A and B are shown apart, each in its own frame.
Chain A
Amino acid sequence: MNYDRVINRRIADVPPSGIRKFFDIVRQMPDAISLGVGEPDFVTPWSIRDAAIQSIEDGRTQYTSNWGLDTLREKIAAYLRMKYRVTYSAKDEVLVTVGASEGIDLALRAVICPGDEVLIPEPSYVSYAPCVTFSGGVSVPVVTRAEDEFALTPEALAAAITPRTKAIILPYPNNPTGGVMTRAQLQAIARVLEGTDIVVISDEIYSELVYSGHEHTAFASIEGMRERTVTLNGFSKAFAMTGWRVGYIAAPRELLAPMFKIHQYTMLCASIQGQIAADRALGRAFESGFEDVRTMVRSYDRRRRLMVEGFNAMGLSCFEPRGAFYVFPSIASTGMTSEEFCTKLLEQKKVACVPGTAFGASGEGHIRCSYATSLQNLNIALERIREFVAECRAQQG
């Protein structure tokens, strides 16, 4: 059989993930410390797990409505209203998805026609560009820089817009840079978009993880932007529920309807156990005033400062991230490429980081380090990186 002729060219042409290689090496090194993890180092709180266990004992093993459980959607709508001052009807403007990842796919497929362009601020999460390609669109990277706090500037946006621009993805708080856009910065973006038909896909999965005085602004809450905004969020990061795969889309009903159609025919619904757990997670958070989330954020905040100080102290200049749980220091001063740095660091010091280039070409010269790992491991990892950098510099003379 000639597989080359069988496989869809568009899929085959998407290169494999740059992260995979590191994953395979780390797996062979049991004593390696990984700063490559992309999920919280907390297990889902017991009372949330217990709700799911109870639901299995009660025989709740059926499909839910295609939209998701009514009670969960009502809580999501209440959460968005309370926290980010955006109002959505729980009935037909909130869709429960299989993680925010499904949301990315649905949002893109619902709007992209072949050849349409989608703007993607870079560096950013690895899935956006491939998903654009899968849906027949053309991804257009818009480079963001440390000196601009990795925010998208209105100038860069305006320069990237063409008559074919259908949508833009706004990935803030950002993985991998930790950049967060302020309300004023988002307002400037809004002014560029006003009067166009460009859809904004705002991936706000890290919205709860924002530090020291900064706050998350939902793009839909910017005046005049709700009508064009598809808000993506989920339970993975804020409630340590990555493996449950529960996310949601909130959007005006006219935009959500086509996404719902795809979801209805392809996914049917997110797993009922995941939805019940998510419902408990939000219910519990409302009762406690988000106490668990606040404790978790304080803990990340301390590790964040430790990492920034650690990298700066060893001469690797590090932008102080304002959100998510990654630092994105520059390793350019070592003279190595990101990939070279990460490969050697892993081989010589058994510390796994992710090369910045995994998040787009503009990530060259940076590495991503997740601090969702114990303080103890972070300190050991920083010490090993310090040794590595010192040895490299000594060799260079």
Chain B
Amino acid sequence: MFSTLDMHILEILCEDARVTPREIAVMTGSDENQVNLALDGLKRSGVLVGYQALINWERTEKEFVEAVIEVNVVPQREKGFDAIAQRIMQYDEVKSLYLMSGTYDLMVQCEAKTLKELAQFVHSRLSVIEGVTGTSTHFMLKTYKYAGTVFEGAASDRRQAVMP
């Protein structure tokens, strides 16, 4: 059963994953044990799968390229798209993978050090997988917003600092 406490926990962690169980307990009016139990439950049931930092890599020295690749595949008997998705997601270059509605089937988000490496991944590994009938690669140029967070051009607080 998904409880109000579960909902509070997920909303808090979405805002800041570093908030401690003690702090969550204060914010939700529950005790720390309850929060830890709820956290365990969320992890066990596969709702809470990990914690990550949000990093705007474009502001660092790191050299890399990112691309979104649209992939058309032939679904397999009984396994549908899952078997082929399983194969694609094994590659380290693949950061995320979605089954899509529309004109293509799988959306693959990839990252590599250079354009050459990424191109190589697409033509020598991805497109030769059995069942893949076509790919279309789009390079990402700039991240404006990611995971609900504005990376570039965030608005400042425009409110009056002191108001009755």
Q: Show the binding face of B for A, using Cβ within 8 Å.
A: 7-8, 11-12, 15-16, 19, 23, 26-29, 155, 157, 159-164
Residues of B within 8 A of A39 (CB): 159-160, 163
Tell me if B27 and A303 are in contact (CB < 8 A): yes
Q: Show the binding face of A for B, using Cβ within 8 Å.
A: 17, 19, 22-23, 26-27, 32, 34, 36-39, 41, 43, 125-127, 175, 212, 295, 298-299, 302-303, 305-306, 309, 352, 354, 358-359, 375-376
Q: Contacts A212-B29, A302-B28, A306-B27 given: A19-B164 contact, CB under 8 Å?
A: yes
Provide a sorted-by-A list of 17 A–B residue pairs whose CB atoms are within 8 angstroms: A17-B164, A23-B160, A23-B161, A26-B162, A34-B161, A37-B159, A37-B162, A38-B162, A41-B157, A41-B159, A126-B164, A212-B29, A303-B27, A306-B26, A352-B161, A354-B164, A358-B164
Residues of B within 8 A of A354 (CB): 162, 164
Contact of B11 among A22, A298, A305 (CB under 8 A): A298
Tell me if B26 and A309 are in contact (CB < 8 A): yes
Which residue from chain A places its CB closest to the CB of B16 in the assembled complex? A375
- Which 7 A-B pairs rank lowest in CB-CB distance, beginning with the nearest? A38-B163, A36-B162, A302-B27, A126-B164, A23-B162, A26-B161, A34-B161
Residues of A within 8 A of B162 (CB): 19, 22-23, 26, 34, 36-38, 352, 354
Tell me if A305 and B163 are in contact (CB < 8 A): no
Residues of B within 8 A of A17 (CB): 164
Whole-angstrom distance between the Cβ of A211 and the nearest chain B Cβ: 10
Bound: A16/B29 CA distance, A: 40
Whole-angstrom distance between the Cβ of B2 and the nearest chain A Cβ: 14
Residues of A within 8 A of B29 (CB): 212, 305
Bound: A299/B13 CA distance, A: 12
Bound: A302/B26 CA distance, A: 8
Residues of A within 8 A of B159 (CB): 37, 39, 41
Residues of B within 8 A of A359 (CB): 164
Bound: A341/B8 CA distance, A: 34
Residues of B within 8 A of A298 (CB): 7-8, 11
Bound: A273/B11 CA distance, A: 33
Whole-angstrom distance between the Cβ of A290 and the nearest chain B Cβ: 15
Bound: A375/B26 CA distance, A: 13
Residues of A within 8 A of B12 (CB): 302, 375
Tell me if A125 and B164 are in contact (CB < 8 A): yes
Bound: A19/B27 CA distance, A: 29
Q: Contacts A305-B28, A306-B27 given: A36-B161 contact, CB under 8 Å?
A: yes
Contact of B161 among A37, A295, A376 (CB under 8 A): A37
Whole-angstrom distance between the Cβ of A209 and the nearest chain B Cβ: 16
Residues of A within 8 A of B15 (CB): 375
Taking A38-B162, A306-B27, A352-B162 as known contacts, 7 extra A-B pairs with beta carbons closer than 8 A to each other, sorted by chain A number, are A34-B161, A302-B8, A302-B12, A302-B27, A305-B26, A305-B29, A354-B164
User: Which residue, B12, B15, B16, B160, has most C-beta atoms of chain A within 10 A?
Assistant: B160
Whole-angstrom distance between the Cβ of B51 and the nearest chain A Cβ: 16
Residues of A within 8 A of B8 (CB): 298, 302
User: Which residue, B8, B29, B161, has most C-beta atoms of chain A within 10 A?
Assistant: B161
Whole-angstrom distance between the Cβ of B61 and the nearest chain A Cβ: 26
Bound: A32/B164 CA distance, A: 18
Residues of A within 8 A of B26 (CB): 305-306, 309
Whole-angstrom distance between the Cβ of A174 and the nearest chain B Cβ: 13
Which residue from chain A places its CB closest to the CB of B155 in the assembled complex? A43
Residues of A within 8 A of B155 (CB): 43
Bound: A378/B129 CA distance, A: 52
Which residue from chain B places its CB closest to the CB of A359 in the assembled complex? B164
Residues of A within 8 A of B163 (CB): 19, 23, 36-39
Residues of A within 8 A of B11 (CB): 295, 298-299, 302
Residues of B within 8 A of A36 (CB): 161-163
Residues of A within 8 A of B160 (CB): 23, 37-39
Bound: A126/B163 CA distance, A: 10
Whole-angstrom distance between the Cβ of B93 and the nearest chain A Cβ: 34
Residues of A within 8 A of B164 (CB): 17, 19, 38, 125-127, 175, 354, 358-359
Bound: A354/B163 CA distance, A: 9
Bound: A309/B8 CA distance, A: 17
Bound: A187/B159 CA distance, A: 38
Residues of B within 8 A of A23 (CB): 160-163
Tell me if B27 and A27 are in contact (CB < 8 A): no
Bound: A34/B160 CA distance, A: 9
Whole-angstrom distance between the Cβ of B161 and the nearest chain A Cβ: 4
Bound: A23/B15 CA distance, A: 29
Which residue from chain B places its CB closest to the CB of A379 in the assembled complex? B23
Bound: A27/B159 CA distance, A: 12
Which residue from chain B places its CB closest to the CB of A40 in the assembled complex? B159
Bound: A36/B164 CA distance, A: 8
Whole-angstrom distance between the Cβ of A25 and the nearest chain B Cβ: 9
Bound: A32/B8 CA distance, A: 29
Residues of A within 8 A of B23 (CB): 306
Residues of A within 8 A of B7 (CB): 298
